[in-house]
A and B are shown apart, each in its own frame.
Chain A
Amino acid sequence: MSKLVLRNISRVFGEFTAVKDFNLTLQEGELVSLLGPSGCGKTTTLRMIAGFMTPTEGTIELDGQVISSPGSSLPPEKRQMSMIFQSYAIWPNMTVAENVGFGLKVRKVKEEESRRRVNEILEVVQLGALRDRYPAELSGGQQQRVALARSIVVKPAVLLLDEPLSNLDANLREEMRFEIRRLHDEFRITTVYVTHDQAEAMVTSDRIAVMNKGRVEQVDVPYALYGRPQTRFVAGFIGRTNFVEGKLNGETVHFDGFSVSKQALNVEGAGLPADVLVSIRPQSIHLLRQKSGDSDRCCAQGSVQHRSYLGEYWDYHIALPGAAQPLRVTARPQEVFQLNEAVWIEIDTAQLTVIR
């Protein structure tokens, strides 16, 4: 059953609309990320879910009960949720163990059981040895784990995380991504995870809601977001891509420098408009010295305009005759082409995505 439902949520500050018509449904045990650029309304949405802020329109339901609506909202302390803040908000006047045990104390869990659960969770996040330290004596990553332990130990109905990794250095951040996913797999807490880091969202989430200017652009599993972006914003925001414009003419779509058959674009339903916008991932283009015999694939000839070697891959810019923009192509390290060398490109049409 749906655990958490956000229905047409909007939030207005004065004249400014921070969140507009936001819809999202979380299943029990699901981890959904809110991903978007700075200022797109992620924190605002999260704070409405937590009950720190009342939506100006729409409702939020938890287990079928309305907990937020424009008129009234259940105070945060009654929502059985927990949250990890961007600043971690570890209480500096309490030890690690006191911080972690606080939620249990407020919930009047028996002393003994509380101690057992605190110890258990501290082991899980590998902080057992530091239980009597004060937060000022912890590193950023350790504080992060305290925050995690503190919010998981109460077995919340919903766990909310607001950019929990943004204050950590790059290595630690990568490590903690997996840690968060591991904890989620272990405890299966319904989770909303806010981040502006695409890789972080990809690693941790079951589904990702991409936000832009207060609206949801697309909600999907990470694979589909990358492979089948539905809007130009999503295609551009998740990974790198080439946008190419084409014209539909009978059964063929003509782009600058190459053309693709209508079926190859593989659109269900209504069919194509006259002007077509397509996203081509750099990985779905292959570079060849000779034209391949496989006529199924779409081919065109161009030349290497620019190249950079990034160790793990080559980044080529291929100029096509008649095209204003070069196509960016990612190639394996051993696929070496010289500048201005003539190359054939082959596009895997299965990976083309029509943007509307």
Chain B
Amino acid sequence: MNEEALTAGAPRRKAAVARPAGGPGFGRWWRHLDKSAWVWLLAIIVLVLLVVNPLLRLLIVSFQQPDGTFTLANYAAAYSRSRYVDALGNSLVLGVSAASLCLVFGVPLAWALSRTDMPGKGLVWVSILGTFVIPPYLGAVGWILLAGPNAGWLNRLAVELTGMDSGPFNIYSMPGLVFVIACYSFPYVFVFTKSALDLVSSEMEDAANILGSGNLRTTLSITLPLALPAILAAFILVFLEAIALFGSPALLALPGRFQVVTTQLWQFFEFPPKVGVAAAYAMPLLCITIFLFWLQRRLIHRKGYASLTGKGGERRPIPLGRWKWPLLGYCLFVCMLSFFMPMVVICQAALAKAWGRGFTLDNLTLNNLYFTLFENTLTRNATLNTFMYAGAAALFAVTLALCVAYIVNRELVSRKVGNILSFLTMAPFVIPGIVLAIGFYAAYTRPPLLLYGTAWILILAYTTRFLPIAYANSNAAIRSINPELEDAVRILGGTRFTAIRRVVAPLLKRSLAGAFILVFIPATRELSSAIFLYSINTQVLSVLLFDKSDEGNFEMLAAIGLILVFITVVFILIGFRLMGRDFMLRRAAA
């Protein structure tokens, strides 16, 4: 039937002679081997060292005595004192209250910008972007200047106006802490809610209006419920952010004489560091985080809501009539609290000879900035370190993420292994920075991998911490490339690396630069992992800012903070140039 089949008998015998020329055995194995395999193997090993090893170490250390024998004493020590248990409770209270306050701030703003004809949207939008730019702990510094007992500007104003003995505000308190954290976390709620509201079509609202429902009722009974899953997801995200935050609680709770989990963890590290106890104490934080992220994913992926909100449809802004001014007033009020007021006092402090002397011209100086940047070796080095570590970490994170994304998308490993790899790469997303830092400390403070005290431990911790951001971006980038472009290189004689160097990399230049910036920015301001891993010679700006806070030199704190804000703004602008306006949002979605 088939000519080939009929004649195949003879050549088959011939080939049996021909085959040894091709040669089974080492020579042929070597020729047939795809040498790029080593690089992929290396990437996998690095991934294990960065993600699996610290977590595993964290777990092991929590069950170990200093001499390495098994014990439950760490857990007993961590949960025996009421102080420690109280801190856990405080964190929960903090998380729930801060997240609730975020809803109060974020949801109305999102609705106003997404659905109404409120004037001044641009201004509100810019100030929310500005809130993203301020590191949370810098916001805390701003609010210390505003509402510190006695000396704070608001208190002084209140005393001036009312003639009271002392001002009413005390930022060094639980309500103060909740407020400050909410000021810098509500943008997440805003972004999530706004993107959900953007998808609700006016037709759905019209349907309710036709049935006789007023605008307000429609909004409350139709529009908001449609956005509810997104709002809930944002609530969870903000809750997790609040309980994992280290900077603001350390600046506000410690002077206020109360503890939350993160500050308590830090105290376990005061000399001599009790790593085992800290590890045991970090477990609830880790477990809650993982559980809630899982819950959040399920919320976002719930089918019913997705299909309801998935269709675009026409969208018309709701006319507010005379209500537009009160709403704008509220939006600006929130922006005042979170952006304008703190920024003004920080700029004032950074440019003042003494911040308490007020907003006068003769109080103005550039000395603080000059001193911080050029004269003081400590801050100068810290600035350099900040740049170098963040740059190195961003480079490593993007490279590693790109490797993993490549391995997974090109199916260089089996699908099952691929799934494990992408899971590992995304895993740091659900690990609080402080927990990751303790894991790194546990894993890399003793031989054979002694990194503690070097810059490497910081760089690698940053790399790990922001790997998910890099991965989400690299993955999207790799997917946008037709594999045949690489196949074409290979069949013409280029190796995989030639293909990556000559075709993939040039085509992905922009998105990879964007990913670099998205890692670089948070890495310049990262505090919660740095605080556990720095040493005298490897200080970075965020750590320095925190260290200097108990000296009361707010002019210098503010100067350092301004430098950080400046760096961020510059790189965000570069990011805009490279990738367009929605690029910050990708980070939030990552």
Measured between beta carbons, the chain A residues less than 8 angstroms from B485 are 89, 91
Is A7 an interface position by the 8 A CB rule? Answer: yes
Q: Per-position contact with B for A63-92: 1 when CB-CB < 8 Å, else 0?
A: 011110000111111111111011101011
Q: Contacting A61 at CB < 8 Å: which of B15, B490, B507? A: B15
Query: Could you tell me if A89 and B18 are in contact, using CB atoms closer than 8 angstroms?
Result: no
CB-nearest residue of chain B relative to A23?
B4
Known: A64-B18, A65-B21, A93-B507. A24 touches B4 (CB 8 A): yes
Measured between C-beta atoms, what is the minimum distance from B18 to chain A in Å?
4
Q: Which residue of B1, B7, B491, B498 contacts A356 across the interface (Cβ within 8 Å)?
A: B1
- Is B311 on the interface with A (CB-CB < 8 A)? no
Kindly state the separation between the CA atoms of A356 and B2 in the bound complex, as whole angstroms.
Answer: 12
At the interface, yes or no: A187 with Cβ under 8 Å from chain B? Answer: no
A77 with B15, Cβ < 8 A, contacts A23-B5, A217-B2, A218-B3 known: no
User: Interface 1/0s, chain B 493-530, versus A by CB < 8 A?
Assistant: 11100100011001100000000000000000000000
Judging by beta carbons under 8 Å apart, are A73 and B18 in contact? no
- Asked whether A77 and B1 contact (CB < 8 A) given A23-B8, A64-B18, A64-B21, the answer is no
Select one of A52, A93, A106 contacting B487, CB under 8 A. A52
B495 near A86 with CB under 8 A, answer: no
Residue ID in chain B nearest A231 by CB atoms: B1
Residue contact B488 to A25, C-beta cutoff 8 Å: no
The answer to whether A151 touches B15, judged by C-beta atoms less than 8 angstroms apart, is no
Which of the listed residues B1, B490, B495 has the most CB atoms from chain A within 10 Å of its own CB?
B490
Q: Which residues of A from 124 to 163 have beta carbons under 8 Å from B?
A: 150-151, 154, 160
Give the CA-CA distance A44 to B11 in the complex, in Å: 24
Does the CB pair A72–B4 fall under 8 Å? no
B2 to chain A: closest CB distance in Å?
6
Is A220 positioned at the interface, with any CB of B under 8 Å from its CB?
A: yes
Could you say which of B15, B33, B492, B502 contacts A7, with CB atoms under 8 Å apart?
B15
Known: A91-B488, A102-B494, A356-B1. 16 other contacts (CB 8 A): A23-B2, A23-B4, A25-B7, A64-B21, A75-B495, A79-B491, A81-B491, A82-B492, A83-B488, A87-B482, A89-B484, A89-B485, A93-B506, A93-B507, A102-B492, A209-B4
A76 and B499 alpha carbons, distance in the complex (Å): 12
The CA of A106 and the CA of B482, in the complex, are separated in Å by: 21
Would A61 and B1 count as touching, CB distance under 8 A? no
Q: Which B residues are CB-close (under 8 A) to A107?
A: 493
A302 vs B285: C-alpha distance in the bound complex, in angstroms? Answer: 89
Residues of B within 8 A of A209 (CB): 4
Q: Give the number of A-B contacts (CB < 8 Å).
A: 123
Contact of A92 among B1, B4, B502, B507 (CB under 8 A): B507
Q: Flag the segment in B24-32, B194-202, B268-276, B301-309 that touches A.
A: B24-32
Q: Bound complex: CA of A204 vs CA of B485, how far in Å?
A: 26
Chain B residues packing against A (C-beta within 8 Å): 1-5, 7-8, 11-12, 15, 18-19, 21-22, 28-29, 31-34, 482, 484-485, 487-495, 498, 502-503, 506-507
Q: Cβ of A50 < 8 Å from any Cβ of B?
A: yes
Q: Pick from B12, B484, B498: contact of A86, CB below 8 A.
A: B484
CB-CB nearest in chain B for A87: B484
| In the bound complex, CA of A231 to CA of B3 (Å) | 12
B28 to chain A: closest residue by CB: A72
The residue of chain A having its C-beta at the shortest distance from the C-beta of B486 within the complex is: A89
Decide: A61 and B493 in contact? CB cutoff 8 A. no
Q: Which residue of B lies closest to A103 (CB)?
A: B492
B18 touches A219 (CB 8 A): no
A164 CB → nearest B CB, Å? 12
In whole angstroms, how far apart are the Cα atoms of A87 and B22 in the complex? 33
- A83-B491, A91-B488, A107-B493 known; A2 and B4 CB under 8 Å? no
Contact with B along A175-213 (1 / 0, CB 8 A): 000000000000000000000000000000000010000
* Interface pair B11/A25, CB less than 8 Å apart: yes
Per the bound structure, the CA–CA distance linking A130 and B50 in Å amounts to 50
User: B484 touches which one: A24, A76, A80, A85 (CB < 8 A)?
Assistant: A85
- Using known A-B contacts A103-B493, A216-B2, determine if residue A72 contacts B487 with beta carbons closer than 8 Å: no
Whether B3 pairs with A220 at a CB distance below 8 angstroms is yes
Instruction: Sample 23 A-B pairs with CB under 8 A, ordered by A number.
Output: A23-B8, A25-B4, A51-B491, A61-B18, A72-B33, A73-B32, A74-B31, A75-B34, A77-B493, A77-B494, A79-B491, A83-B487, A89-B487, A91-B489, A106-B494, A150-B488, A151-B492, A216-B4, A218-B2, A218-B3, A219-B3, A230-B1, A356-B1
Q: How far is the CB of B239 from chain A (nearest CB, A)?
A: 43
Say whether A5 faces chain B, with CB atoms less than 8 Å apart: yes
